[in-house]
Amino acid sequence: MASSGPAADAARAEFRSHVDAPGHAVENAREALAGLEAAFAAGALEETPVVGAMIADLGVAIEPGGEDRLGGKSAEAARFILRAISRELDAT
């Protein structure tokens, strides 16, 4: 069952505003992730195992350095994962 109510709707809308924002996809992803984590902490949305796995994948795409870094593909990966999280939020 999806999280419901005004707080859940607002959290989803805020997340999607970052997904659709102009600018660099990696920076937008960082902002979207920060808002999403705040929504989880506030109880507005529930972090499911699927969303948690997607967030972990997003972390690999947006964090600088490390051997798992995606290089030039980071922005593309971030956009792809953000869209997947957005779809999944409708089910959480």
For 22-68, the pLDDT digits (tens) are 988 889 999 999 999 999 999 999 999 999 999 999 988 888 664 45
Confidence of residue 70 (pLDDT cuts 50, 70, 90): low
DSSP state of 67: T
Is a pLDDT exceeding 70 seen at residue 11?
A: yes
Cα end-to-end span (Å), the chain: 6
Domain boundaries, the chain: 26-89
What's the one-letter identity of residue 35?
A: G
What residue has token string 């051997």?
Answer: 67
User: Cα separation of 27 and 35, whole Å?
Assistant: 13
Mean pLDDT of the region 58-84 = 77
Is a pLDDT exceeding 90 seen at residue 13?
A: yes
